[in-house]
Structure 1
């Protein structure tokens, strides 16, 4: 741990990424009064920041994130149900269900995805329910040479079949022409069936170059997709992503996963281009975590 100021300390999550910004002494300091340039520089270096020990509610969370972010998204096209908080369509609850969600990049099943994520802990679970994170650069480096070669040759193909009432909720429109435009902007192939159900097809790489172009990053929606809807994902040539492949990926994921056990008022800032996230299962109905999807309001 090293001192950032008289009241704040920074503590590393790991050798490769992540910092905790901890308010240890000053109960009166507000998170919105922290030096924004210092936060930006830390984020550029570490790609994941956890702010802990600050008095924060959803209004404070919204104000703080507004000052560092732009291009907020309302989760149009997202696969989970998310409750709107405080009538703000860009502040959403993530507690649709209580099962584990494996490591993934947010919305990597479409082209238009958030570059940055914010999480806020309104109320932690009494036990379990940790958010999990991992460094996508390290994940790529841990892949066997055969998997690195495989993912460099083959992309992922996502397929979804949605009944009319489902796609209306997911895409927030009843107008097929609007839906067609949304899909076109996301490089998603759309097929409308006779009953107005739809089939969607999207192709994306499982690996991506880092922002500086010096590293490769494993970040995608493969791991949870194979659990939640295994028939929806294959390679782009139609071949199966078999159990041997998934076994290696899941072994790496568990080995390099970092758990974040929430404290009330915690705020988490994540680079969605290189850091994957997920969560452990939980049973506590009072667990209440919010998310915002956006882009950085600074060069990054």
Structure 2
């Protein structure tokens, strides 16, 4: 585990690639798709600094690194779409820490790569912490790993236009129930339309993932983020007073329906943050991560931080 504790994202500058400090210098380097794929598998996360990338030119970089960008369909985080499957990073209030997670790990399919781009750096804070998923898994107590071995069941309650959390229309980027049902059928999810126009979705998913290239087993679920206890005692109590657990915007149990103990969810959250490495942002920076090896989050910040994200 000591080797995993020393892991850091690989940083690459124009001097490292022997090219100019321009977006063209970066795109020339990235045209070697196969070589970059090997680098990303080995490094797990790569940060590019000093290439003078702007919001107007970042798409040319994304086209090379994320050739088939995915829409953020069935995502549970509030975002704004700003381009061709390019989104703002999560729009949760800036004073909150967002705990570690692998993007869409609760879904039937997930992106293998994420790219983050700093269009405007924050005044203070705002780092994106990243954590090695193998270290995260190995850092958990054996009883916690064993309890999660059978997988987890996620429950999502999506309102039809008014209520807590996101609507099903926002979540699936459609107004069509038929399109939603087609998506969920392909995702091997269970669902039901409720009398009030809300949608309840249940998904049985794994808790860990074995990386196809490295063979490493990593923690790969969002049980802590879907668990009320991880929101803090005060928020959890407020939600419990409003709704039963099964009617919350999102909740989680073990695969057999057994409740996940509060302490297990909190341990997963805290160990991920404990072992994370902060990536600070400067205008024009980019970071690409292997979503199957690395979890990510967000530190609190001040100022008009603008980070864009895309996935493939």
- TM-score band (shorter)? 0.7 to 0.9
Alignment of 1:293 with 2:300, yes or no, is no
Normalised by the length of structure 2, the TM-score is 0.82
**Any gaps of 5 or more consecutive residues in structure 2?**
162-166, 237-244, 246-250
Instruction: List aligned pairs for 1:201-280, cutoff 5 A.
Output: 201-212=202-213, 214-226=215-227, 227=230, 231=245, 232-280=251-299
Instruction: List aligned pairs for 1:109-258, cutoff 5 A.
Output: 109-152=106-149, 154-165=150-161, 166-212=167-213, 214-226=215-227, 227=230, 231=245, 232-258=251-277
Does the CA contact (< 8 Å) of 1:30 and 1:54 recur in 2? yes
- Give the secondary-structure state (helix, strand or coil) at the position aligned to 2:47: strand
Root mean square deviation of aligned Cα: 2.2
Alignment of 1:92 with 2:110, yes or no, is no
Does the CA contact (< 8 Å) of 1:80 and 1:96 recur in 2? yes
Alignment of 1:47 with 2:44, yes or no, is yes
Alpha-carbon shift at residue 14 of structure 1 (Å): 6.5
Alignment of 1:18 with 2:15, yes or no, is no
Which of 302, 305, 308 in structure 2 is aligned with 1:283?
Answer: 302
Alpha-carbon shift at residue 268 of structure 1 (Å): 0.5
C-alpha spacing 1:213/1:150, structure 2 compared with 1 (3 Å): farther
Alpha-carbon shift at residue 17 of structure 1 (Å): 5.4
Alpha-carbon shift at residue 127 of structure 1 (Å): 0.3
Partner Cα distance (1:107, 1:167) in 2: 16
Corresponding residue for 1:72?
Answer: 69
Alpha-carbon shift at residue 203 of structure 1 (Å): 1.3
Partner Cα distance (1:259, 1:16) in 2: 12
Moved more, 214-223 or 102-111: 214-223
Normalised by the length of structure 1, the TM-score is 0.85
Q: Count residues with an aligned counterpart.
A: 278
C-alpha spacing 1:76/1:214, structure 2 compared with 1 (3 Å): closer
Alpha-carbon shift at residue 288 of structure 1 (Å): 0.2
Does the CA contact (< 8 Å) of 2:14 and 2:26 recur in 1? no
Q: C-alpha offsets along residues 75-119 of structure 1, whole Å, 9 cap, x if unaligned?
A: 11111221122xx24111114122221000101221122111000
Q: C-alpha offsets along residues 32-71 of structure 1, whole Å, 9 cap, x if unaligned?
A: 1215434333212112100011110123221112112233
Higher strand share: 1
C-alpha spacing 1:16/1:183, structure 2 compared with 1 (3 Å): same
Does the CA contact (< 8 Å) of 2:7 and 2:132 recur in 1? yes
Which of 90, 101, 126 in structure 1 is aligned with 2:98?
Answer: 101
Moved more, 35-44 or 61-70: 35-44
Does the CA contact (< 8 Å) of 2:134 and 2:218 recur in 1? yes
Moved more, 38-47 or 121-130: 38-47
Q: C-alpha offsets along residues 155-189 of structure 1, whole Å, 9 cap, x if unaligned?
A: 11111111112111211222211111011111111
C-alpha spacing 1:44/1:93, structure 2 compared with 1 (3 Å): same
Does the CA contact (< 8 Å) of 2:130 and 2:296 recur in 1? yes
**Any gaps of 5 or more consecutive residues in structure 1?**
1-12, 295-300
Partner Cα distance (1:35, 1:198) in 2: 42
- Give the secondary-structure state (helix, strand or coil) at the position aligned to 2:69: strand
